[in-house]
Structures are given as C-alpha cells and as structure tokens.
Amino acid sequence: MEPTTAISVSGKRVDDGGAQATSKIQSAHDAAIIAESRGGARYEGLYVHVPFCRHKCHYCDFYSFVDSENRGAAFVERLLAEAAAAVRFVREPLTSVFVGGGTPTMLPPPLLRELVEGLRARLPMAGDVEWTIEANPETIDSAMAEELGALAVRRVSLGAQSFDRTLLRALERDHDPASVARAVSLLRAGGVPQVNLDLIFAAPGSTVEQCAVDVRTAVSLSPDHLSAYGLVYEPNTPLTVKLRQGTVQRVSDDNEAAQYEHVVRALAAEGFERYEVSNWSRGGAQCNHNLLYWRNGDWFGLGPSASSHARGVRWRNVPRLGDWLEQGPSSPVQDAEVLSEDVQVGEAFMLGLRVVRGIERSRVEQLLQRGSNGERRRAAMARHLGAGLLAQGATHVQLTERGFQVADSVLMDLL
C-alpha cells in the first residue's frame, strides 16, 4: 500500500484541515531536519516508489506511467544515491521496507537485485526486516519469482483486483485473471514466504454474487494476506471522467455495503483474521509496514512522489521522474505540511481505530488531553460508546462490528 498524504477511511479520502503547508521546505532533507527539531524522529519503515507500469489503469491516481524511454537503470542509480544521503536521518535499523508504485517488478530481475542489495548496503536494517514488493501478476515469470525468493523478499503483493473479465475491463485493468494463479504458484515455487492479493469491490456494474466469486477464487489460491477495498473514484482519473460523463455508473451505497459485508463474512468463515478495516491475514501474516502507517509512525520515502512522515511533518517527493532524476541526492518535494497538535491527535484516532485491535486506553486518554478539541472528542467518544459503535475493553478502545459498518462517520467525529 502506498502511503498517502490524504487520510482515508474505508477507501474514502477526506480533508483533515488544519495542517500547515510550508513553503520553506524545498527538499526531503529540509523536511527531515524540521521533523528532527521536533524531537525523537525515528524512521522504522522505508517506502520506495517505483513509478513504472505496463499500462495505466483508469481508476489509478498513483504516480505511475508506461516508460517509453527505458529509464530503469537511471532510476535505480538515482534512488541509491538518495538512499545513501538518507542515512543522515535513517540511523536506527529499519523494521520494514515496502517497494511499491507503480509496478516494481517492471524492473528486470538484475536491476531489482541492484535496488534491493543497494538499499541493504546503504541503510541500517533489522535482521528480520520485512520486505514487501508489489507486483502486477503479468510481470511474474519464473526468473522474477526466483529472484524475489533469492532476495529474501518476505511478502509479494499482487494486484488481482477481480477475476471477472467484465469487471477488470470496467477498471481498465490490463491483466488476464488466469495470470494471478500462475504468479502465486511461481512465487511459492521461488520461495517467497507470503503472498498478498489485492481485491477491489464495488466496481461499476458489480454485484454481490460477482464479489462472492472473486473472494472464493482469491481464497482458493491460499494467500497469506488479502486486502479488499471499495473502489474509489479519485479526482482526475479517466474513470471519474467517465462517471461524470455518465458512461459508467457507481454501484449503490447499499450494494457496496452488501459487498463489503460479504467479504467480511466469507473471509471470517475461511479463517482469515481481519486486522484492519480492509485487511485480512492468516497465520499471523499481517503487514507490519501498513501497521506502521496506521500507528502514525515515522517512515522515510524514496523515489518520485514517495511520501514520508515523521513527528507530524509530512512531505511528498516531486511526482515527475524527469525532475527527480535531474536533482538530488535529496529529493525535491512537491508538498510538505507541518501538522498542528490537534490535527495529529485527530489523525491518531482516525488511523488507530481503523485497526481492529483499536487504541490502548492509556493512549486514548493521553490523546484526549492534547489538542484543542479534547472535550468535543471526549463527548463524541461517549456518544459512540453509548450507541455501541465503539467498545471499551480492558486494554483497548475499538470499533465494534456495527461501528465498522459506519466507520466513516464515527472516525470523522474524532478527526
């Protein structure tokens, strides 16, 4: 999952308000210096953005494109220079590295090896660091699968989205559904320990029955982890243009809710544990990197358009490969924000309650005492506890099953 500078609940993005954009921040290092001045910045995770894709899907607003200029080698060289410069800030061993995009497996295996080994040589990593690499199923052949296994990548996250050709077409996904099963078995044979499948529900024209087939097919491939997100019509994507033009229709809210409910029920029946609104794992294969985002931890982003966060300072590298290649080693930034204490508190609630386990009660109390909206949040929390949308256990406060159904409105009240 790519980190985002927007906050998202159940796939919907909202404006968090109150964050202060600052023009003083020109580069990632400017931002990291401000974060350090706030005390205690500790980067546990690394996010690497590889912007290349074999086709641009119509719903996608990530910075990614089909590279007609074959700039993979220049990209890796520049990225490793950025990593070497980041060691000034990334001083403690990283516990997770997430290589996303884009499609990192668009890099040929030798270049991917150079990238992974180069990062390992330049940045401190914990012995059991969790490596995740995102992949399009069509980019996994036996050479790539063996390389990923040999590189000790723990997780490969495959964008399956749907197994229904009509729905894949509606999303303008350019892969054959059969390639997902092929990729999973090649990855297993190559020695990759954990495979995630991403699914999208509520695509235009989709039904609960189609969603059920998608979930069943995904489960039949025995993934260790599943992510299922309701389709989001991001601004300025071709799919949203079609929506405005009336050539595609959104499914109804009831249909979307029924699809989500089906996913929740079907995966529970198959022994998957939901640990976040949209994420399930089996055998303890949770994604530590994503848990870091939801805990509002500190991570450093490398590559064009990569986001970073530390101590309430958030920044996003410039989303233009040409500009990024020409400058450096610290990346120029496109947006940077220094969050007020109150915004940080709101985000801690919003992100923390997405996780099924919830937020520790002692931390909830600390959060309620910070920021300028403590009393309003305390009242909202009491209301939702009374209505059975939140529950208070011995150690944590969490959303109830009913609360998950209306997570957007509950979390907005605490933002």
- Binding footprint of ligand SF4 on the chain (CB under 6 A): 53, 56-57, 60, 62, 64, 101-103, 136, 159
Question: For ligand SF4, which is the closer residue by CB, 103 or 259?
Answer: 103
Report d(CA 110, CA 124) in Å as an integer: 22
Question: For ligand SF4, which is the closer residue by CB, 58 or 188?
Answer: 58
CB environment 350-371: b (16+ within 10 A), e (fewer): bbbbbbbebbeeebbeebbeeb
CB environment 79-93: b (16+ within 10 A), e (fewer): bbbbbebbeebbeee
Q: Which residue number is nearest to ligand SF4 in terms of Cβ?
A: 60
Question: For ligand SF4, which is the closer residue by CB, 108 or 374?
Answer: 108
- Nearest distance in Å: CB 313, ligand SF4: 26
Question: For ligand SF4, which is the closer residue by CB, 151 or 239?
Answer: 239
- H helical segments located in 279-406: 288-294, 321-326, 341-352, 361-368, 374-386, 401-405
Question: For ligand SF4, which is the closer residue by CB, 136 or 398?
Answer: 136
Question: For ligand SF4, which is the closer residue by CB, 86 or 287?
Answer: 287
Q: What SS3 state is found at 279?
A: strand
- Nearest distance in Å: CB 180, ligand SF4: 13
User: Is residue 324 within 8 Å of residue 317, measured between CB atoms?
Assistant: yes
- Nearest distance in Å: CB 63, ligand SF4: 9
Question: For ligand SF4, which is the closer residue by CB, 53 or 415?
Answer: 53
Report d(CA 188, CA 199) in Å as an integer: 20
> What one-character-per-residue DSSP string does 86-100 give?
HTTT--SPEEEEEEE
Can you state the angle between helices 407-414 and 341-352, rounded to 10 degrees? 160
- Nearest distance in Å: CB 1, ligand SF4: 11
Question: For ligand SF4, which is the closer residue by CB, 13 or 56?
Answer: 56
DSSP letter at 272 equals P
Report d(CA 167, CA 81) in Å as an integer: 41
- Nearest distance in Å: CB 399, ligand SF4: 28
- Nearest distance in Å: CB 49, ligand SF4: 10
- Nearest distance in Å: CB 56, ligand SF4: 5
Query: Who contacts 180 (Cβ-Cβ below 8 Å, separation ≥6)?
Result: 137, 158, 160, 163, 197, 221
* 385: number of Cβ within 10 Å: 15
User: Do the bridges between strand 12-14 and strand 20-21 make them parallel or antiparallel, or are there none, so unpaired?
Assistant: unpaired
- Nearest distance in Å: CB 389, ligand SF4: 32
